[in-house]
A and B are shown apart, each in its own frame.
Chain A
Amino acid sequence: MATIFGINLFALFGQLLVGLINGSFYALLALGLAIIFGLLKIINFSHGALYMLGAFGAYLGLNYLGIDYWWALVLVPIAVGALGILLERTLIRPIANEDHLYSLLLTFGIALILQGLFTHWFGSSGMPYAIPEELKGGTRLPFMYLPDYRAWIIVFSLSVCAVTWYIIEKTKLGAYLRAGTENPQLMQAFGINVPLIVTLTYGFGVGLAGLAGVLAAPVYSVSPEMGSNILIVVFAIVVIGGMGSIGGAILTGLAMGVVEGLTKYFYPEASTTVIFLVMVLVLLTKPAGLFGKEA
């Protein structure tokens, strides 16, 4: 086997690739979170719960409605997005002008309720969800066996991230969006329905969480706990990337996946902590995050 300085290179490459796959999930989730924070200034602590809801949506769709994986990939994010819109209209809107702290606590409450209900309904052991037929199997690379579904995760989530980034940063629609949230009065005066934009943006952001949930269903256990485990890591990623920076969230998500992969190779016990170490270091040297603008 190829080794250098006593490091098994093949194993290391394997870890890096696996890190990149995890990074794709992080990127997708961080993207949704960054959109919601960047454009709406809401700290959405229910993001993890909505991701869990996406995975359960796929599971329930398959078992009760006969919706297969591919349809779930389209329908579930829309359903989760719709629920997000409902939550925004009924609960989050009334406190839109209060301190950020309140939206954080409110959405934390929503997360507790969702997680509690699903634990009650489905237990905590997790539900099985099979990999779709088309993506079973894998490719043997020189250094590892890459399952097709994992490759699909990378390709698909990166495409979604890229398209979203393009829409927000480069198109007219995106410009309205950014302007509408930065200076609502002015945009309102121009005849643009700002509250509608806010609602739709929130719906889109949580829809991304739902999408990540569907994507995760075949590889991780569909369980009520899945969201709370990943949430605070994704939070850290958004902060490291610079809160509100769309591109920053995507890149940091991928990078942190790789960093985690490396840690798992050298010191696995610390793999869940390394991201927080990076976060401390970044915040102490670059307060606004790697890609954020100093306010």
Chain B
Amino acid sequence: MKNKKLNLVLLGLALVAPFALYPVFLMKVLCFALFACAFNLLLGYAGLLSFGHAVFLGTGSYVTGYLMLTYSITPEIGILAGVGASALLGLVYGKLAVKREGIYFAMVTLALAQLAFFFYLQAPFTGGEDGLQGVPRGELFGFIDLNNNLTMYYFVLAVFLFGFLLIQRTIHSPFGQVMKAIRENEPRAISLGYKVNQYKLLAFVLSATLAGLAGSTKALVFQLSSLTDVHWFMSGEVVLMTLLGGMGTLWGPVLGAGTIVSMQNFLASSPLANYIHVVMGVVFILCVLTFRNGMVGELQKLIRKNF
């Protein structure tokens, strides 16, 4: 009951936020929050650390960006195509990666992502280092003009909520329970007769699909697809967001993404601009040393202890 009230308050805040804060900034936060949530589904609930998740963000972004630029299609079709491409790539990469565990899984995903990075760098349709610029936002369903930042914001919010609720549903479904069981004790899950690799693959594909959704939406928000989205640094950033916010918690990645994006925005135009990497490094270290459970995780611990 309490939770429901809290959710309603948060939703209310999200609805009025663009009147207080700059909408494009909020949309950036939402896109990264969705990306981090998708990543968290894999790391926090299935226990798989992918170190190449940016590739799915980037694939969604490039496919949507390219189609919107080249053909006059509506944004929802563009997004669907981007998401489809990410899902497909997720299926292929997932098939290869889920056979491996732990650090090897991380390394296979990193290596596969590097191969995709090379493809996007060389492929003629991506514009190389320049990326795809001036991607049109178009008109949603052919009649809602997304060029207005406020309209676009509510569309992004809807996309985010869709992804977020899907993840919430997944976690609380029987499928989610099996995933958690695998994370906690894989041999036991196997002995119970679960086809562990199939579950992992499904989680991987779902995560890749949602990461692609974040990427497709991001391409429309910024009207741009670039190599930044597929670079391994982006893969590292999403780990940081998830960890900082609290992996394995529903709200952690959202909070983590919000914190990191705000920090980057704030630092970029402050006297500390020179120190942006230093500050990020310090956050990394503090986070690992002092609150490994992340902000939400530590908060939950605190509440559990005191109430």
Contacts and interface: CB of A to CB of B under 8 A. Distances in A.
Are A and B physically bound partners? yes
Interface of A: 43, 91, 94-95, 98, 100-102, 105-106, 108-117, 119-120, 232, 235-236, 239, 243, 269-270, 272-273, 276-277, 279-280, 283-284, 287-288
A105 B277 contact: no
A95 B284 CA distance: 13
Contacts of B280: 109, 112, 116
B276 interface: yes
B111 A116 contact: no
A91 B285 CA distance: 8
B277 A287 contact: no
B285 A279 contact: no
B7 interface: no
B162 interface: no
A102 B286 CA distance: 11
With most chain B CB atoms within 10 A of its CB, the pick from A105, A114, A270 is: A105
B14 interface: no
Given A109-B283, A273-B114, A43 B103 contact: yes
Nearest to A119: B277
Contacts of B99: 284, 287
Contact of B284 (A108, A269, A270, A287): A108
The A interface is mostly helix, strand or loop, or mixed, namely: helix
Contact of B240 (A43, A95, A105, A115): A105
Q: Size range of the interface on B?
A: 35 or more
Interface of B: 49, 96, 99-100, 102-104, 107-108, 110-112, 114-115, 117-118, 122, 232, 236, 239-240, 243, 274-285, 287-289, 292
Contacts of A110: 281, 285
Contacts of B111: 236, 239, 276-277, 279-280, 283
B49 A120 contact: no
B49 A106 contact: no
A235 B103 CA distance: 12
B104 A105 contact: no
Given A109-B284, A273-B114, A280-B111, A116 B100 contact: no
Contact of A112 (B112, B232, B281): B281
A95 B107 contact: no
Contacts of A273: 114-115, 117-118
16 contacts: A101-B49, A105-B284, A108-B236, A112-B278, A113-B285, A115-B277, A116-B275, A117-B278, A232-B232, A239-B104, A243-B103, A270-B118, A273-B115, A276-B112, A280-B96, A284-B99
Contacts of A112: 277-278, 280-281, 284
A198 B108 CA distance: 28
Given A95-B289, A120-B274, A109 B107 contact: no
Given A105-B288, A112-B281, A270-B118, A279 B240 contact: no
B104 A109 contact: no
Nearest to A102: B288
B289 A106 contact: yes
Contact of B239 (A105, A232, A277): A105
Given A91-B289, A98-B292, 14 more contacts: A95-B288, A102-B288, A105-B240, A105-B243, A105-B288, A108-B284, A109-B282, A109-B285, A110-B281, A112-B280, A276-B111, A276-B115, A280-B112, A287-B100
Nearest to A228: B233
A283 B285 contact: no
A112 B275 CA distance: 10
Contacts of B287: 105
A109 B118 contact: no
A106 B288 contact: yes
A232 to B, nearest CB: 7
Contacts of B122: 269
Contacts of B118: 270, 272-273, 276
A190 to B, nearest CB: 30
A115 B283 CA distance: 15
A111 B281 contact: yes
Contact of A116 (B112, B115, B277, B289): B277
